[in-house]
Structure 1
Amino acid sequence: MLYESVGYLLDQVRSTMWNMVTRETMADLGITATQACVIFMLVSGRGLIAADLAREYGIDASAVTRLVDRLEKRGLLLRVRSNADRRMVKLALTAQGVEVADRVPEIFTRVLDILLARFTPEEIGFLKSMLRRIMTNSEDSASAALPDMSVRLAERDFANHT
């Protein structure tokens, strides 16, 4: 049954949480949940170039460009050319962006407090453990698939050159 499927339930929880966070970030900060995450990633030293953001969120480069454009227009971040490699453009928060970033964790905490209100600390610990295990399984699966793909590519290249 669809409504009992683990995948469906995980997607519904993610969607509900994301919508709640967006409502809160829009009301408090005037930005979307995705924009809030980007700002928070930057203040914590992650995702310093647009390609990192694309990988983190699984979105294409043009979507990241639009996202960065909006944040730059709002005065929350700047594009800064790297001194080491002029082709590389790093993203940096403005003072206003840092102020916004400082308010993001409170919003996520407020939403999670609502969603986890009827859970015991032990249940929350168990839930986190299970979610970490899903992530580990995902990483293990991805790394196991890579050698197989590289072998297939090597075999294909060898066949094409013989």
Structure 2
Amino acid sequence: MAPPSSPLPPEISEYQLNESVGYLITRVRSTMANLVTQRTMAELGITSQQGSILFMVASGKCVVAAELAREYGIDASAVTRLIDRLEKRGLLTRVRSSEDRRVVRLALTQEGQDIAVRMPAMFQGVLDHLLGGFTPEEVGFLKSMLRRVLLNSGDQTSLTRDTTTSFESKS
């Protein structure tokens, strides 16, 4: 660690962090997760990530641990720990596939399903707050730009939603 009196290299001192798209996206994502966690902890006793996982399993988008790891960009051991916590809480179970015994699917318990059903309203409430003052057209444009970023990354799932959707919903 450099002493406080030594000058910063220009690569650091000249970089405008607040103008970095990556930094701004990361900050927005962190803010959204924190606001959702405040609600989910107060109302459900779980984190936003746990609630999101329950929703993903309920929706059928992610029904095995590997899919969750890919979706959230976290390693398999972290997903296993998350699943262990949710299973211990009685919110989901692991079910071995009858077709392929190597495959372990995730299934929600009734309590897990009850929580998953509540998640969209919580996500929407936070987004409505954060997107306050945005016009429906601006929200649509933001979503379109974010889909293009995902497409540029090679993420083909960004194309699964029609980019000409109506602007009735803010999320």
The interval holding the TM-score normalised by the smaller chain is 0.7 to 0.9
Provide the C-alpha distance between the structure 1 equivalents of 2:63 and 2:38, rounded to a whole number of angstroms.
Answer: 26
Pairing partner for 1:33 from 48, 54, 58: 48
* Code of the aligned partner of 1:54: A
CA deviation digits over 1:76-109, x for unaligned, max 9? Answer: 1001111111121111001111101000001000
Q: In the alignment, is residue 124 of structure 1 matched against residue 143 of structure 2?
A: no
Provide the C-alpha distance between the structure 2 equivalents of 1:63 and 1:6, rounded to a whole number of angstroms.
Answer: 27
CA deviation digits over 1:101-156, x for unaligned, max 9? Answer: 0000010000000000110111111111111111111117xxxxxxxxxxxxxxxx
Pairing partner for 1:100 from 85, 107, 115: 115
- Give the superposition deviation at 1:61: 1.4
What is the number of residues matched between the two proteins?
140
- Give the superposition deviation at 1:25: 1.1
Residue in structure 2 matched with residue 8 of structure 1 by the alignment: 23
Provide the C-alpha distance between the structure 2 equivalents of 1:125 and 1:102, rounded to a whole number of angstroms.
Answer: 25
- Give the superposition deviation at 1:2: 1.1
Residue in structure 1 matched with residue 86 of structure 2 by the alignment: 71
Q: How high is the sequence identity, in percent, across the aligned residues?
A: 66
Q: Secondary structure at the match of 1:139?
A: coil
Q: In the alignment, is residue 85 of structure 1 matched against residue 100 of structure 2?
A: yes
- Give the superposition deviation at 1:70: 0.6
Residue in structure 2 matched with residue 47 of structure 1 by the alignment: 62
**Structure 1 segments of 4+ aligned residues over 4 angstroms from their partners:** none
- Give the superposition deviation at 1:65: 1.0
- Root-mean-square deviation (Å): 1.1
* Code of the aligned partner of 1:136: L
Tell me the TM-score normalised to structure 1 length. Answer: 0.83
Provide the C-alpha distance between the structure 2 equivalents of 1:133 and 1:51, rounded to a whole number of angstroms.
Answer: 25
Residue in structure 1 matched with residue 125 of structure 2 by the alignment: 110
Tell me the TM-score normalised to structure 2 length. Answer: 0.79
Q: Which runs of 5+ in 2 are unaligned?
A: 1-15, 156-171
Provide the C-alpha distance between the structure 1 equivalents of 2:18 and 2:114, rounded to a whole number of angstroms.
Answer: 41
Which has more helix, going by share of residues? 1
Q: Secondary structure at the match of 2:46?
A: coil
